[in-house]
Structure 1
Amino acid sequence: MASPLDDRTRAIISACVPALEAHGLAITTEMYRRLLANPDIRDLFNLSHQRDGEQPRALALAVLAYARNIDNLGALSGMVERIAEKHVGLNILPQHYPYVADALLGAIAQVLGDAATPEILDAWGKAYWFLAEILIGREEQIYEAHAAAPGGWVGWRAFRVQSRVQQAQGIVSFTLVPEDGKPVMRHVPGQYLSFRLDVPGHGSERRNYSISSAPNPHHYRISVRRIEGGVVSDWLDDTVREGAIVQVSAPAGEFTLASPPPSSLVFLSAGVGLTPFMSMLGALEESGARVPVRYIHGTRTPATEAFGAYVRDLAAAGKLTADIFYSREAPKGEGAPVGVTRHEGRITSQWLSQQVDADATWYICGPDGFMRDMVAALKAAGVPQERIRYEFFGSAADAVLA
């Protein structure tokens, strides 16, 4: 267990908040520059998130949140759990932490210059290792649970693409089975898989993709949206076919369906953000749970609506009610199926505020801007924070929403 930080160290970290507000992004950008120059650790990172600046921004927010809450670290428990799960998915190990410590302290010293006194650097060293020990301990627990679970594993495991299905325009589903022929760990609905991929011309790349299949001991399915210019998504769409081998780590993530499930559920998504909800819906269907479910989804056109037939079948069977929004082109020449309401345009905060069921648990997944708007609308409408769950596609959860 990590030793508590002393009062002086916490006071120094708290006093650094204005400096982090002004220079946090510069510090994390420099930190990643140092890490990526080291071949022993460079391959652990999603380089696309480096090129677009997402990972440095996310870390800057996390560091700022850590400093702001240094006297109330319990407020950051959710963020710590998300980080630990991501680290496990990427197979981060205790020996990787010293590299990050050296890069962070070096970046603070370089960016702040003379303002980075020995006292400040000493305090940040203590604060870093305090948090690192918490993460290492939690990650060890998760690794041990994966190793002990039926079908579980630790590290990278070879999976073969058993099938490839064009799920919708721009979205392809891949069903993956273990190359060793043994069972797989039943994931918790909502979890994701992490991949180590060798992309020609780009080298080793890391990506996370939500599992879109119901838990089972035989296979996983992921559903990937092609992003023009996306290094991995383009390669998967253009190149990966049945029989291809990919390296996968065990399911991870804390954006999961509770067991037993809440008494009432709303799944709110846009674009490919629906993927974890397909796993959750499949799990509910297989368990026979009689839970009221409302499914709200935004897409561009009928052609881009992934899993539309599956959702309509569930609605026709009375297992959910659905609101589908089409931002560019709505279906023509036919009435809406039973249990489905179709809308033209996007899901708006105003519309959502008129639909609120404060007793339901809301799960939200989609582009960052969409989630910020939806979370803000629900909070303004009186939905308690503990009934709002959300998942980010990016490198880390936005500390502002944590």
Structure 2
Amino acid sequence: MSAPLDEATRAIIRATVPALKAHGVAITTEMYRRLLARPEIRDLFNLSHQRDGEQPRALALAVLAYAEHIDRLDALGGMVERIAGKHVGLNILPEHYPYVAEALLGAIAHVLGEAATPEILDAWGKAYWFLADILIGREKQIYEEHEAAPGGWTGWRAFRVRAQTQETPAIVSFELVPVDGGPIARHRAGQYLSFRLEVPGHGAQRRNYSISSTPGADHYRISVRRAEGGVVSSWLHDSVQEGAVLQVANPAGDFVLDEAGDGPVTFLTAGVGLTPAIAMLAELAQAGTGRTIRYVHGARSEDSAAFVADVGGFAARGVVTADFFYACESTVAAAGGPGITCHAGRIGTDWLRQTLDRAATYYICGPDSFMRDMVGALRDEKLPAAQIRYEFFGSAADPALVI
């Protein structure tokens, strides 16, 4: 374990905040250029996030948040947990961390030039390894928990596609069972699976997909939207059929249902962001909870909204009340069935404020812009932070959503 950061080191880190604000993306872009030149590291990354600049922006924000909170790192607990979860899903190991240290410090020196004094590089070296040791320790705990759990595993495990379902024109579900025939770990509703995939013509690829099935089943289900220009999503839609074998890591992620709570719950989702919420909703329904549950979902049109029948079944049983918003529809039916109301247009922040349940915990997932609007509105209404929970699809390249 690295020694706690001394005041002199923290003072230097604080002093670099303006430089990080001005040059952070340039530094992380250069860092990734160096890392991706190494074959032993390159395959650990989602290369599509490199091409669109999302990963460097997200890391730049995380580094900036670390520097800005260097005197109160407890405020970064949620960010650290999310990073550790994603690292475990990708099977990041302690031996990978020195490569990142070398690339980060080299990038700082390259971008800042003479401004990157030996004192600054020494301080950032200490700060990096202090955080790295925290992550390595937490990741070790998670790996051990996975291995000890019934049906759990570490590393990659072969799963077969048992069934495939076209949920909407753009979303396909894949039902996965282990090739070895053994049991699978019970995931927590809201978690995701990480995949190591070999895509013809594109080589090794890593992706995370939320588990959309109910915990306790004999399989995992993921529901994948075809992304425009998406290498992996297009391959999954066009080429992966029943019987195909995929390499899968143990369920991970901290965006999970608070099973111990008894207060109201509101799911607030858009697009394929509904996938973790569907698993949470199904688990609450299966448990026969008496909690007040509301499901709010935004889609482009009525035919692009997945799992409408599932939600309708829950609503008919009185488990949930639901609101569906269809952004590209000028008119919709006044109701979609018992307990369901349909709306033309997008989920707006004014509507959210007007319908706000101050006792509810909000679970939010969707595109970054949607989450920024929804989370921002709830924060503006002074809803406690513990009642605002959200998950990123991608790399959280929005400063309002990093912490």
TM-score for the superposition, normalised by structure 1? 0.98
How big is the shift at 1:397? 6.8
- How many percent of aligned residue pairs carry the same amino acid? 67
How big is the shift at 1:335? 4.8
Q: 2:362 maps to which residue?
A: 362
Q: 1:100 maps to which residue?
A: 100
Q: 1:173 maps to which residue?
A: 173
**Is it true that 1:35 corresponds to 2:39 in the alignment?**
no
- What letter matches 2:223 in structure 1? S
Correspondences of 1:124-139 after superposition (within 5 Å)? 124-139=124-139
1:337 and 1:21 mapped to 2: Cα distance? 50
Secondary structure at 2:43 match in 1: helix
Q: Is the 8 A contact 1:85 1:253 kept in 2?
A: yes
1:382 and 1:103 mapped to 2: Cα distance? 41
- What letter matches 1:121 in structure 2? L
Correspondences of 1:206-285 after superposition (within 5 Å)? 206-216=206-216, 218-285=218-285
How big is the shift at 1:320? 0.3
Q: 2:200 maps to which residue?
A: 200
Secondary structure at 1:313 match in 2: helix
Question: Which stretch of the first structure deviates more once superposed, 124-133 or 285-294?
Answer: 285-294
2:17 and 2:387 mapped to 1: Cα distance? 30
1:201 to 1:64, Cα distance in 2 relative to 1, 3 A: same
Secondary structure at 1:390 match in 2: strand
1:90 and 1:18 mapped to 2: Cα distance? 32
TM-score for the superposition, normalised by structure 2? 0.98
Q: Is the 8 A contact 2:94 2:136 kept in 1?
A: yes
- What letter matches 1:52 in structure 2? D
Q: 2:389 maps to which residue?
A: 389
Q: Is the 8 A contact 1:61 1:400 kept in 2?
A: no
1:357 and 1:2 mapped to 2: Cα distance? 44
1:123 to 1:158, Cα distance in 2 relative to 1, 3 A: same
Secondary structure at 2:342 match in 1: strand
**Is it true that 1:342 corresponds to 2:342 in the alignment?**
yes
Q: What are the ranges of 5 or more consecutive residues in structure 1 without an aligned counterpart?
A: none
**Is it true that 1:321 corresponds to 2:324 in the alignment?**
no
2:115 and 2:128 mapped to 1: Cα distance? 19
Q: 1:111 maps to which residue?
A: 111
Q: Is the 8 A contact 2:55 2:397 kept in 1?
A: no
How big is the shift at 1:2? 3.6
Runs of 4+ in 1 over 6 A off after TM superposition: none
1:385 to 1:22, Cα distance in 2 relative to 1, 3 A: same
Correspondences of 1:6-155 after superposition (within 5 Å)? 6-155=6-155
1:393 and 1:173 mapped to 2: Cα distance? 17
2:365 and 2:63 mapped to 1: Cα distance? 24
1:40 and 1:381 mapped to 2: Cα distance? 47
Q: Is the 8 A contact 1:21 1:64 kept in 2?
A: yes
How big is the shift at 1:301? 1.4
Q: Is the 8 A contact 1:193 1:249 kept in 2?
A: yes
Q: What are the ranges of 5 or more consecutive residues in structure 2 without an aligned counterpart?
A: none
1:322 to 1:92, Cα distance in 2 relative to 1, 3 A: same
How big is the shift at 1:262? 4.0
2:333 and 2:136 mapped to 1: Cα distance? 57
Correspondences of 1:281-296 after superposition (within 5 Å)? 281-296=281-296
- What letter matches 2:51 in structure 1? R
Q: 2:371 maps to which residue?
A: 371
How big is the shift at 1:400? 3.1
**Is it true that 1:311 corresponds to 2:301 in the alignment?**
no
2:330 and 2:2 mapped to 1: Cα distance? 55
Q: Is the 8 A contact 1:391 1:397 kept in 2?
A: no
Secondary structure at 1:41 match in 2: helix
Q: How many residues align?
A: 402
1:331 to 1:186, Cα distance in 2 relative to 1, 3 A: farther
Q: 2:163 maps to which residue?
A: 163
Output the aligned Cα RMSD: 1.2
2:335 and 2:395 mapped to 1: Cα distance? 41
2:58 and 2:107 mapped to 1: Cα distance? 16
